[in-house]
A and B are shown apart, each in its own frame.
Chain A
Amino acid sequence: MAMRGIPGTVRGWGAWAATAAVASLLLGGGAVGAARVRHASQPPIIIGLSSSLTGDFSADGKANVQGYRLWAAYVNAHGGLLGRKVVLKILNDNSDPSQVITDYQSLINQYHANLLFGPFSTLLNPPAASVARRYGYMLIEGNGGGPSVFAQHNAYLFDVSSPTQNQLVAFAQWLTSLPKSERPKTAAYATYQDPFTQPQIDLCRKMLQAAGIKTVSYQVFPDETTDFTPIALKIVHSKAQVVVVGSLINLAAAMVNTFRQQHYNPEVLSFTAGPDQGSQWLQVVGGAKMTEGIMVEISWTPFLDTYQNALLDHLYTSTYGGSPESMSSDVAETFSVGQVLQQAVEATHSINNATLRAYIENPHHVFQTVQGPVHYIAGGWGQSSAPAYIGQWQNGKLVFVYPPFISKGAKPEFPKPNWP
């Protein structure tokens, strides 16, 4: 999630505050000393997880593990959980749903894990959660938010991240909040036939239609599509005022290039992914001028002013090198998993799965995470309230423009300026 231009001051102070907190905890207090004594004398808490270290999801799987490891290392450096050291037992599922089942059975029966964290993806979390439920374990995860995860109605599963389907809700809320006289009248939608993007587009479309924004084009296309020109042309032909695309970066770039060539200037142009990719995005669209006013939905970036986000930047860069921009959002999502667990354990003084599950599922209990504050939605089968934000390219920088609590005064640029 490479993203530049979010005000750095807050982040800078956050990093200093976090560093100071780490230093004071390491150097100071008897409480920590006492915790360390307990640390040595009590058995560790084993947290089992399976991740895709090989196979189709290996890039994300490795990031998934990085987030868990950063959290565990941080917690252990601060006395562990309830004074006990946290040990992660990590197995490789090879991106395979069958292997996930075997792995979680092994984690419970062979490795006697006390608690479980989730694997990567909407595909692999449901089988993992099924095993967890069978043995009375809860499964907290951060990398599987597709509708199929919650459709299982598994009360033992908790997703810390924003549910996939809700990624465009903030965008729809912003559009529908515009005065009726200013509000666009027509919208075009295009999305991959994909369990990740299509539900977002469909929910957004439903919300906009309910607010009187007419659908003039709706296109769904296969994942294998490589030639996007006809899809973009159909949108151009529709002359829609709002364009919302369920995208990856190559699709988003192809849309921008075609729209620009055809001198088609929608008032609002929003993508579910692509423009959030910082320098990579600028490279494929041909520079900052080409991206002015384009919106993208974001659930997390290294520059978000949220609980321990600056600390996560620091932990990541000091452990894995590089810059915060090089950190995958998968890392933040699994770091959030640890944060929720830690806060629940500290509140209940327990690592009993039933006790923790009862505490976490209570919608009145709010957990602070690097993605923002979350609670679990009653009847949501593990869906959290984690928000998604609207980012918009303004003057060569991607800035948060909605909702107001995160935008810090920045306003959406509307209508989007014409192409240069």
Chain B
Amino acid sequence: MSFILYAIMIGILDGGIYALMACGLTLVFGVMEVINVAQGSLVILGAYMSYVLASTLHLNLYLGLLITMPATFLLGMAIEWAFLRRLRVDRIALSILVTYGVSLAIEGGLGMIFGDTYVALPAPSGTFTLFGYATPDIKLYVFLMACAFLAGLYVLLYRTTFGAALRATVQNRTAAQLIGINVERISTLTFALGAALAAAGGMAFGATRSFHPGSAEDLISRLLVIIVLGGFGSLGGALVGALLFLVVEDMVSVLISPIWGPVVFFAGLILILLVRPQGLFGQLEARRQ
């Protein structure tokens, strides 16, 4: 029994990290109607930036975020300005193509600089006991960090003027423009915020497993599944989607077989989408917020 409880807890701890990585993706869609398939690459870029700072400057991983998050924030602004702002028609479909190109460019650049070899961030090696099993401290630390970022994001969205403008844009882009909200500026800042959160997620991802430039490919498919389940544009949906995904996958892996983990999850996802095509907390929920 303790083995199963432990698997659930591991799913929750990892789910927090995935929620952090996915929240930028869902915010960007909510505000901009852009499916940012470069989010996985931005996560891995963030992981590599943390790796460089930790291995060359011996900077603490958490302190390193003070550099990596602003840097990816600026990169996000540049990407939005250079590629996404210009998309006027068929925005969703074209955004997939454009951000896929950005993703390939990032992956290719990382490959040229770092090669196609796996690296791991120098995380502390201590453990604590959970249901009788040793658990790496770092899993708990990065989970708490992810929770802190998600809480901060919640405050930003629901307790600030910027958040109100952002939510207004999510609800109705045209109406937001009519009441004087600078929608383009909000879009730029949202995309940049998503990129900065990806950098934080990248640190958490890289601290708990090894990665290489191609890791983004597996990652983005999982992140997209999470926000489809949670509902495009919903922050709470990203959190619940991530936790459900990881817990179900881990539970099925230990109880039945790892090969059935994704199968069971996707079967559940299809059933949910048949009942709620907008996902668990889709647009309707986001608009009500």
A250 touches B250 (CB 8 A): no
A254 to B208, CA, bound (A): 9
Chain B hits for A222, CB < 8 A: 258-259, 262
- A250-B118, A284-B119, A286-B125 in contact; A233/B254 too (CB < 8 A)? yes
Verify if A49 is at the interface (C-beta below 8 Å from B).
Answer: no
A residues near B209, Cβ cutoff 8 Å: 226-228, 250, 254
From A234, A249, A253, A261, give the contact of B253 (CB < 8 A): A234
A286–B118 Cα distance when bound, in Å, is 13
Q: Is the CB of B116 within 8 A of A220?
A: no
User: Does any Cβ of A come within 8 Å of B249's Cβ?
Assistant: yes
Residue among B125, B135, B212, B253 with max Cβ neighbours from chain A (10 Å): B253
| A225, A229, A234, A250: residue with the most chain B Cβ atoms closer than 10 Å | A229
B250 and A219: CB pair below 8 A?
no
B163 lies within 8 A of chain A by Cβ: no
Are the CB atoms of A231 and B253 closer together than 8 Å? yes
B158 contacts the other chain (Cβ, under 8 Å)? no
- Cβ contacts under 8 Å, B261 to chain A: 221, 225, 230
Identify B210's interface contact among A59, A230, A234, A250, CB under 8 A: A250
Task: Enumerate B201-256 residues with CB–CB distance to A below 8 Å.
Answer: 209-212, 215, 218-219, 221-222, 246, 249-250, 253-254
Chain A residues whose C-beta falls within 8 Å of the C-beta of B33 in the assembled complex: none
Residue A153 CB within 8 A of the other chain? no
B257: interface (CB < 8 Å): yes
Q: Which of B2-10, B141-149, B164-172 contacts A (4 or more CB under 8 A)?
A: B2-10
Asked if A106 is an interface residue, CB under 8 A from chain B, the answer is no
Q: Flag A222-257 by CB within 8 Å of B: 1 or 0 each.
A: 101111111101100100000000000110011001
The residue among B120, B221, B250, B258 with the most chain A CB atoms within 10 A of its own CB is B258
Q: Which of B125, B127, B209 gathers the greatest number of chain A CB atoms within 10 Å?
A: B209
Does residue B80 face the partner (Cβ distance < 8 Å to A)?
no
Given the known A-B contacts A230-B7, A230-B250, A254-B209, are A221 and B119 also in contact in the complex, defined by CB atoms under 8 Å?
no
Would you list which residues of chain B between 102 and 119 have a CB under 8 Å from chain A?
A: 116-119
Complex partner residue of B211 from A220, A221, A227, A250, CB under 8 angstroms: A250
CA A280 to CA B117, docked complex, whole Å: 7
With A220-B257, A250-B210, A261-B136 as given contacts, are A226 and B118 in contact (CB-CB < 8 Å)?
no
The one of B218, B253, B254 that contacts A224, using a Cβ cutoff of 8 Å: B218
Q: A220-B259, A280-B118, A284-B119 are in contact. Are A230 and B10 (CB under 8 A)?
A: yes
Smallest CB–CB gap between B131 and chain A, Å? 11
Tell me the smallest distance from the CB of B113 to a CB of chain A, in Å: 15
Contact between A59 and B116, CB atoms less than 8 A apart: yes
In the complex, which of the residues A59, A224, A228, A280 contacts B262, with contact meaning CB atoms closer than 8 Å?
A224
Instruction: Please report the total number of A residues contacting B with Cβ < 8 Å.
Output: 30
B14 and A227 within 8 A (CB): yes
Interface string of B51-82 (1 = CB under 8 A from A): 00000000000000000000000000000000
B127 partner, pick from A220, A261, A277, beta carbons under 8 A:
A261
Chain B interface residue bracket vs A: 35 or more
Q: Residue A148 at the B interface, CB < 8 A? A: no
Distance, CA A246 to CA B275, complexed state (A) = 39
- The chain B residue sitting closest to A254, CB to CB, is B209
Residues of A with C-beta under 8 A to B3: 233, 237
Contact call A230/B253, Cβ cutoff below 8 A? yes
A226 touches B119 (CB 8 A): no
Closest to B133 in A: A262
A193 at the interface (CB under 8 A from B): yes
Within the complex, what minimum Cβ distance (angstroms) separates B253 from chain A? 4
A231 partner residues in chain B, CB cutoff 8 A = 253, 258
- Cβ of A152 within 8 Å of any chain B Cβ, yes or no, is no
Q: Is the CB of B7 within 8 A of A233?
A: yes
- B47 CB, min distance to chain A CBs, angstroms: 13
CB distance from B48 to the nearest CB of A (A): 14
Provide the bound-state CA to CA distance between A284 and B209, in Å.
9
**Interface assignment of B270: CB less than 8 Å from any CB of chain A:** no
* B120 and A226 contact, CB distance less than 8 A: no
Say yes or no: is A283 at the interface (Cβ < 8 Å to chain B). yes
Q: Assess whether B117 is in contact with A227, with CB atoms less than 8 Å apart.
A: no
Is B134 part of the binding interface, using a Cβ–Cβ cutoff of 8 Å? yes
How far, in angstroms, from A226 to B47 measured CA to CA in the complex? 15
Most buried by A among B118, B119, B221, B257: B118
Least Cβ–Cβ distance between A79 and chain B, in angstroms:
38
Cα distance, A193 to B262, chains bound together (Å): 13
Q: Are B257 and A219 closer than 8 Å at their CB atoms?
A: yes
Contacts of B259 in A (CB 8 A): 193, 219-222
Beyond the given A262-B134, A284-B120, could you list 16 further A-B residue pairs with CB under 8 A, ordered by the A residue number? A221-B259, A224-B221, A224-B262, A226-B209, A227-B249, A230-B7, A230-B10, A230-B249, A230-B254, A231-B253, A233-B10, A250-B210, A250-B211, A253-B118, A261-B136, A262-B133
Question: Contact residues of B with A, CB < 8 Å?
Answer: 3, 6-7, 10, 14, 116-120, 125, 127, 133-136, 209-212, 215, 218-219, 221-222, 246, 249-250, 253-254, 257-259, 261-262
For the complex of A and B, the 7 pairs showing the least CB-CB separation, nearest first, are A221-B258, A230-B253, A261-B134, A284-B210, A250-B210, A230-B250, A280-B117
8 interchain pairs, CB-CB under 8 A: A222-B262, A224-B222, A226-B222, A229-B10, A233-B7, A234-B254, A254-B209, A284-B210
